[in-house]
Amino acid sequence: MRFLDLVSLIFYNLSRRKGRVLLTAVGVVIGTSAVVVLVSLAVGLRENATQQLWGINDLTSIEVYPGYNMKSSGGGMMMGGGGGEI
CA within 13 Å, CB half, 59: 6
pLDDT in tens, 7-21: 999 899 889 999 999
Q: Is residue 62 part of a domain?
A: no
For 48-63, what is the mean pLDDT?
76
Q: Is residue 11 part of a domain?
A: yes
Q: Is residue 67 part of a domain?
A: no
Q: Is residue 76 part of a domain?
A: no
Closest CA to 84 of 67, 64, 69, 66: 69
Taking the whole predicted model, whether its pTM rises above 0.85 is answered as: no
Q: Is residue 68 part of a domain?
A: no
pLDDT number for residue 1: 78
Q: Number of folded domains in the chain?
A: 1
Q: Is residue 64 part of a domain?
A: no
pLDDT number for residue 58: 63
pLDDT number for residue 50: 86
pLDDT number for residue 51: 85
